[in-house]
Structure 1
């Protein structure tokens, strides 16, 4: 009897890993929303630099963005990291996220995945949806941390509730497949519908598949939940 119990556990573990791997490899690369403008093309770089040097965190982030993108200034990840670092020291969540990405990639700073995760967490705990989504992906893939699908779902949910379309898509899939959360087709439909309404391109086809598994009453309730959804603003 113990032998078959153990075999059942192994099979279930294999299935769970397989589903998680499916989520990982099938991850969409587009949220369907337009990318955030780094800065207007007519920005006064000298004035922006002056504000940054005076300690204005948002100016420091904007200047870091210019250096990271090579827009209006010569591309320099080291300079980007310097300005993101100054803003991050003032607890600016966007700067913490951007600086974390530089540490993860080893651009302008020594590569340090552990420090990157620390920065992501600091930003995520302030409510930054991008950082919350990134943490979800890290735990989903086991990138620098032990794989933890429950923890991944927690962060995807927080990002989804703040309006991040990719997180909404991912959370919808998780509710459909039961990865890190119980199977719940109503919640799956809700999140996929919300993501689709924001233009996330993979959500509509996934939504049709989920809908085919639902009763009319379940679909009605899912539509009601989707219609009632209203995200708060993400922390800058």
Structure 2
């Protein structure tokens, strides 16, 4: 897990602001990336940061120069402004200013205006904690989680993160939500994960709002609620979050309401423009299967799916397999389809696993094999009553007692690939679920 550190300030009502998250949002407004171009919104954000202090003003100028926001891009001059910020943060940190000590640590962690040094960064985060910085508690927790400048230690990381979360730090709550979902350093508990994400989202975390949208959309840690899922996705999407835009778009693009479809397609396009793989995956599905206001476009779909495959995205593998299985813009080729499905299955795609199991069950593109059929169908964790669940039950019913023993042993010895990290896995529409030849019962 590689979570971001943060540099912060507190606004007039004592709400924490992540400076580089705000600067990134200003850049999106300026470029029209993920949202309509709005230079006035850019100026509002920059002005708010600029007026905090000389150090924050220098950070603002450094970012503008480094990114070419309203001025000519000049990385050298950007670093010069970051050096100016480091000077003032150092002066203030030496006098016991907690925010400045935290922010100086951030500059050392990122090598902005100073020589990158993880140990020095961790030192300043420790100093900031002593001065009372809540943000530094979070940053130090992330350092221990990743072994940045300190020994990697999940237990110590969780201690710092819990202290920060107890003081209403939204970033710490968001990371704890991830850890409880993954079962890293704590017992896996989706409900606890949901609670932490709710705490973080209510405190303004865009990432947590997006994670809640996903959790409510699939019923992970809480009862499935599409209306609430849309609400949280909308909050995150309005802040330019590409993942939220991609998933929100899938709700809207399947609507029979033309206005909702247009809104969804615009969001999906914005997210794709930002290079978001979830958005590309969702757009590929629409281009393959079509929706009420968009006819299929197989050529465009194959291009995007191939791009995803080159990035190692399991959804790309799965969708290419679907196209070859059903002859959608390409000749029907079950062996080639099976090859793509296996790649998807081994990367953790539930759709790829379910499809691969089905192909082993019927012997299409692969040699018929009840054990592998049962294994891959089970790996897909099918919901009771779903097509994959019924297929798994059918395979189990026709297996001999010996095959059942072999299958259960194989499942026990091969727990299967891990799924994508929470917040990164796109919602799947599950229109087609397909799959490939593999060696006998190898992990």
Q: 2:210 aligns with which of 148, 161, 169?
A: 169
Structure 1 match to 2:300: none
Deviation at 1:45, TM superposition (A): 3.3
Q: 1:140 aligns with which of 181, 198, 204?
A: 181
Cα distance between partner residues in 2 of 1:32 and 1:143: 29
Q: 1:32 to 1:63 in 2, by over 3 A?
A: closer
TM-score (norm 2): 0.39
Q: Secondary structure of the equivalent of 2:150?
A: coil
Deviation at 1:71, TM superposition (A): 1.5
Q: Is the 8 A contact 1:175 1:184 kept in 2?
A: yes
Structure 1 match to 2:115: 74
Cα distance between partner residues in 1 of 2:130 and 2:106: 16
Equivalent positions of 1:6-17 (< 5 A) are none
Quick check: which has more Rg, 1 or 2?
Answer: 2
Q: Is the 8 A contact 2:25 2:240 kept in 1?
A: no
Q: Is the 8 A contact 1:97 1:123 kept in 2?
A: yes
Pairing 1:34–2:34 present: no
Cα distance between partner residues in 2 of 1:90 and 1:161: 27
Note the residue ranges of structure 1 that are not aligned, 5 or more in a row. Answer: 1-23, 25-30, 220-236
Structure 2 match to 1:95: 136
128-137 or 40-49: which moved more? 40-49
Q: Is the 8 A contact 1:32 1:199 kept in 2?
A: no
Highest RCO, 1 vs 2 (Cα 8 Å, sep ≥ 6): 1
Q: 1:166 to 1:73 in 2, by over 3 A?
A: same
Cα distance between partner residues in 1 of 2:111 and 2:230: 41
Pairing 1:125–2:166 present: yes
Note the residue ranges of structure 2 that are not aligned, 5 or more in a row. Answer: 2-20, 27-48, 50-55, 63-80, 261-443
Cα distance between partner residues in 2 of 1:48 and 1:209: 45
Structure 1 match to 2:231: 190
Pairing 1:202–2:243 present: yes
Number of matched pairs? 188
1:150-176 CA-to-partner distances (Å, cap 9, x unmatched) read 110011111111222221111011112
Q: Secondary structure of the equivalent of 1:182?
A: coil
Q: Is the 8 A contact 1:189 1:211 kept in 2?
A: no
1:164-223 CA-to-partner distances (Å, cap 9, x unmatched) read 222111101111211111111221111111111211112233224446899x9xx9xxxx
TM-score (norm 1): 0.70
Q: Is the 8 A contact 1:138 1:145 kept in 2?
A: yes
Q: Secondary structure of the equivalent of 2:131?
A: coil
Cα distance between partner residues in 2 of 1:34 and 1:172: 22
Structure 2 match to 1:114: 155
Deviation at 1:47, TM superposition (A): 3.7
Q: Is the 8 A contact 1:176 1:210 kept in 2?
A: no
1:81-109 CA-to-partner distances (Å, cap 9, x unmatched) read 11100111233111111111111121211
86-95 or 135-144: which moved more? 86-95
42-51 or 189-198: which moved more? 42-51
Q: Secondary structure of the equivalent of 1:99?
A: helix
Cα distance between partner residues in 2 of 1:78 and 1:205: 38
